[in-house]
């Protein structure tokens, strides 16, 4: 019996395949053009495009993928287990292989007219790689906080890709579905990839006594202290 994550992953795969068919026969060309004209009708390079270009460059696939692999390597050195690194490499393959196949089969030019734009590798990689880091948190609160951050970054990337003319809107939707499918299809990392917050150990006194061991309780009163207290 499939879990909820598996059902959502299958739904995401259906979205990718459906969008691929609609893009291949040109059905989404007019809606994509309408969205681009609404966001950037004159194709001018203003502060919005400059800001969007910064987001696109800072969170490109080589950056998010490199961050995932780097943290997996550090987790391997920290835990002595290679499972985290193998999981990270498997996630990279789960995104890269279908991305390459779809871009080869559906040779759709982007707004700039160079390359193949469907689906968006930027969006797919961000969701899959950073989502993997979020799923590796050991606490439920930590996973939720990291997931919210990934959702915000994915939304910012989606807007930046369309505003800068890097991808059409359907490319972004296809990339988001592909990244979500890979994230949910692959199990959660077997080891934490993000280091937890370290707590500084308490210092102990000589002789092995703790900081509070052997000291009188602040609430305990002695006769001498009571007698010496001024009236």
Q: Is the dihedral of CA 63, 65, 71, 76 positive or negative?
A: negative
Per-residue pLDDT 10s for the chain (231 aa) are 347 767 888 888 889 999 999 999 889 999 999 998 888 767 777 888 889 899 999 999 999 999 999 999 998 888 888 888 998 999 999 999 999 999 999 888 887 767 788 999 999 999 999 999 998 888 888 889 999 999 999 999 999 999 988 899 999 999 999 999 999 888 888 778 876 654 444 455 555 444 444 444 444 444 444 444 443
193 and 132 in contact (C-beta within 8 Å)? yes
Please state the pTM of the whole predicted model.
0.79
Alpha carbon separation from 147 to 20, 128, 135, 175, 181 (Å, rounded): 27, 11, 8, 18, 15
Q: Smallest Cα–Cα separation from 110: which of 43, 174, 166? A: 166
Helix ranges restricted to H, 25-136: 29-39, 47-58, 61-79, 83-105, 121-125, 131-135
CA distance 158 to 171: 10
């Amino acid at each position: 019996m499939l879990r909820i994550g598996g059902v959502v992953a299958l739904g995401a795969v259906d979205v990718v395949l459906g969008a691929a068919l609609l893009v291949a026969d040109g059905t989404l060309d007019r809606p994509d053009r309408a969205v681009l004209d609404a966001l950037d009708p004159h194709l001018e390079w203003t502060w919005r495009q400059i800001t969007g270009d910064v987001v696109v460059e800072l969170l490109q696939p080589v950056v998010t993928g490199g961050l995932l692999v780097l943290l997996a390597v550090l987790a391997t050195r920290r835990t002595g287990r290679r499972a985290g690194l193998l999981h990270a490499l498997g996630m990279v393959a789960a995104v890269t292989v279908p991305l390459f196949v779809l871009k080869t089969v559906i040779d759709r030019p982007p707004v700039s007219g160079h390359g193949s734009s469907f689906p968006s590798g930027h969006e797919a990689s961000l969701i899959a790689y950073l989502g993997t880091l979020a799923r590796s948190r050991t606490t439920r609160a930590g996973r939720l906080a990291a997931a919210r951050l990934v959702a915000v970054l994915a939304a910012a990337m989606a807007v930046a890709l369309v505003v800068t003319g890097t991808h059409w809107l359907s490319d972004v939707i296809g990339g988001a579905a592909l990244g979500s499918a890979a994230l949910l299809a692959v199990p959660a990392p077997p080891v934490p990839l993000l280091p937890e917050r370290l707590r500084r150990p308490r210092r102990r006194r000589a002789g092995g006594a703790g900081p509070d061991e052997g000291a009188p309780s602040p609430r305990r009163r002695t006769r001498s202290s009571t007698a010496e207290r001024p009236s």
